[in-house]
Amino acid sequence: MINNIRTSQRLRRSRSTDELQWHKSRRSSYQGTCVEVAAIPGQIFVRDSKDVEGPVLSFSQESWAAFVEAVKSDGI
């Protein structure tokens, strides 16, 4: 489900993460325990909102949709 970290390293070389439009859930914790998500065609990127310069995970749109659906249906 998760593409390897090399994908995020390629992202940093080819496109600055600053260029992506990052979004945080409206339901995120006020304590800062949340992630931010950005999308480009075909890929979803996820990072820790407290460490925006840290690692970025990459998912296919299909994998991300399956993950979100599992969370919504309490499958995770």
Confidence tier at 50 by pLDDT (50, 70, 90): confident
pLDDT on residue 57: 93
Which residue ranges make up each domain of the chain?
5-24+34-72
pLDDT 10s digits, 36-45:
999 999 999 9
Instruction: Report d(CA 40, CA 59) in Å as an integer.
Output: 11
Instruction: Report d(CA 57, CA 2) in Å as an integer.
Output: 7
